[in-house]
Structure 1
Amino acid sequence: MSHWFEGLVLANDVQLHYYRTGGTAKPPLLLLHGFTDAGLCWTSVARDLEADYDIVMLDARGHGCSGAAVSGFTTEMLVADVVAVIQALQLPPVTLLGHSMGGHMAAHVTKKHPELVRAVMLEDPPWRGLEAEPLSGEEENGLEQWATNMRELQKQPLAERLEDAADFNPHWLPDDVRTWAEAQGQFQVEVFTQGLYQVSRDWKAIVPELARPGLLITGDPIRGAIVTPEVAQQALATWPEGRLAYIEGTGHSIRRDQHEAFVTAVRQFLKEN
């Protein structure tokens, strides 16, 4: 990573931090991480792809080294942040690769700004078989408990988080363990008060308007993956240029659970698009 560089983009009153692998003559690949992760959580994937692509790893607001999400944490703001970074870096149409929250962001950017996007890959986005509805009291309590759990996690020394992550995820690469543990310590817990839950309910309205080639990467719900086979089938039925890559033996963090299979699927899609 010694030859990678980093920078800041001011977007919507927030300083957004990013890492970039260099090679600006190569096709741009913008990586968008999941909730509580950070840009460097893509390190192992970026190492495998940087020879052929100009990779930008963005820290979302409230994550990594980016500024706080004091002005809000909504889908609209997250999408505006991504657009601002693409424009500030003067990138040609990009390929987007997003995990979880980042996948949802990538889908929204593709829908609203297709002129900025060449293709899009979504790693287990938060697409559930639920219609949009108000946040229930039970769900609000769940978010409060999640925030409490995160505060407790952040009290642990980094070495302890590293050990626990490695023990719980024996198949993860060392880079994935390290960057996950570091990102949990950087995450700004205040994000939980900024409307998080609103970002995961409207995929059925987005997918039919994704007018770009796409890859939906899914895992096993029994292992914690969000996108079920039924949801994947519904999504691809209305996504003319979308296709599916199911990777067996993976949960929500597909690329971490089966790194080689994930990178193989991504490489194949990039080669064809």
Structure 2
Amino acid sequence: MNKLLKTVLLFSAAISIIPSGTAFADDKLETATTKFVDANGVKFSYRTLGPKAGTPLIFLQHFTGNMDAWDPAVVNALAKNRPVVVFNNRGVGSTNGVVADNITQMTTDAYAFIQALGYKQVDLLGFSLGGFIAQELAAQHPELVRKVILAGTTYQGGGNNLMKVLGEAFSRENVQDPRDYLFFSQSDAGKQAAAAFLSRVYARQAGRDPESGKEIADAHGKALIVWTSTPDPEFKTLKAIQQQVLVVTGSNDTMLPTEGSITLFKEIKNAQLVLYPDSNHGSIFQYHDAFVNTADFFLSH
């Protein structure tokens, strides 16, 4: 069965099949307790949701993102059928230390965090910059990583429009939150989805992570630009990934161009691809219900 046919079958089946869970936790991302664990000289902050049994799904966050930047509609829904872990990497949010400015260090720290929790095998959901870390973890630690979801991301050397798009987002008048432009299309449907997303991510009132400042933005920006500008002409990292991978992106990702996700699909041996219409960098948040159904099926089969 060729890869394209497998992708179509995966997406079609995911519309109607959602695996059933077992024991459920009552907590949600909006209310989950922030915990801490020491690893690699860092006191990592994290939150866990969902049942205790099953393969944990580790969320790897985007440029300047902290735990409260995740969409509860995605996190809470995926936690119904599996353990879910969100965390802040070195120097971000309520995790201490100097923020890393390269993907190698971020990957090393993420691996140390997962090891500190005692997990022998995990699944990964890497969004945007987090997708770079997910690729490196999958390639370097095949014994640890079972399955991978790469959302709104690209490959090493795949290029980026970070500075251009950030400039456009912040040049608008009365900008309340740039993610309405960075993550969503500017159609009426996209704007409605953006407003709904922002209301969800600000739902947590108590114990929110501190917002990321210039130090984090500068370090993450350097890491993102260097990684996406460093050629890997033989796709060595992608060729090393043998796990099943679900690649998800929007029809017009303006920050990490959609073509990069198509290359991920083509060059990773066991990759499947989902493209959402009329969507930008944050397609998994605009189409959160469809994405969760697809991700659930992918992770459970």
**TM-score, scaled to structure 2:** 0.71
**What does residue 192 of structure 2 align with?**
170
**What does residue 113 of structure 2 align with?**
85
Asked whether the equivalents of residues 61 and 128 of structure 2 are also in contact (C-alpha less than 8 Å), the reply is yes
**What does residue 254 of structure 2 align with?**
224
Q: 1:234 aligns with which of 250, 256, 263?
A: 263
Q: 1:191 aligns with which of 216, 222, 238?
A: 216
Task: Compute the RMSD of aligned alpha carbons.
Answer: 3.8
Q: Deviations over 1:195-226 (max 9, x none)?
A: 322233456332111111101112122x5262
List gaps (5 residues or longer) in structure 1: 133-138
State how far apart, in whole Å, the 1-side matches of 2:237 and 2:287 are: 28
Asked whether the equivalents of residues 248 and 261 of structure 2 are also in contact (C-alpha less than 8 Å), the reply is no
Q: Give the percent of matched residue pairs that are identical in Structure 1 and Structure 2.
A: 24
**What does residue 200 of structure 1 align with?**
228
Asked whether the equivalents of residues 28 and 94 of structure 1 are also in contact (C-alpha less than 8 Å), the reply is yes
Measured at CA, do residues 177 and 101 of structure 1 come closer, stay the same or move farther in structure 2, by a change above 3 Å? farther
Measured at CA, do residues 256 and 22 of structure 1 come closer, stay the same or move farther in structure 2, by a change above 3 Å? closer
State how far apart, in whole Å, the 2-side matches of 1:54 and 1:175 are: 23
Q: Aligned to 1:20, what secondary structure does the other structure show?
A: strand
Q: After superposing the two structures, state which structure 1 stretch, 178-187 or 20-29, moved more.
A: 178-187
Q: Deviations over 1:16-70 (max 9, x none)?
A: 2111115222321111111122223142212112221100001123333222435
Asked whether the equivalents of residues 94 and 119 of structure 1 are also in contact (C-alpha less than 8 Å), the reply is yes
Asked whether the equivalents of residues 225 and 250 of structure 1 are also in contact (C-alpha less than 8 Å), the reply is no
Q: After superposing the two structures, state which structure 1 stretch, 250-259 or 186-195, moved more.
A: 186-195
State how far apart, in whole Å, the 2-side matches of 1:184 and 1:19 are: 11
Matched, 1:256 2:285: yes
- The list of structure 1 runs, each at least 4 consecutive aligned residues, that deviate by more than 4 angstroms after superposition, is 128-132, 164-168, 173-176, 180-185
Asked whether the equivalents of residues 156 and 227 of structure 2 are also in contact (C-alpha less than 8 Å), the reply is no
Q: After superposing the two structures, state which structure 1 stretch, 169-178 or 257-266, moved more.
A: 169-178
More helix by share: 1
List gaps (5 residues or longer) in structure 2: 1-27
Matched, 1:243 2:265: no
State how far apart, in whole Å, the 2-side matches of 1:111 and 1:128 are: 13
Q: Deviations over 1:100-122 (max 9, x none)?
A: 01111111110111111000000
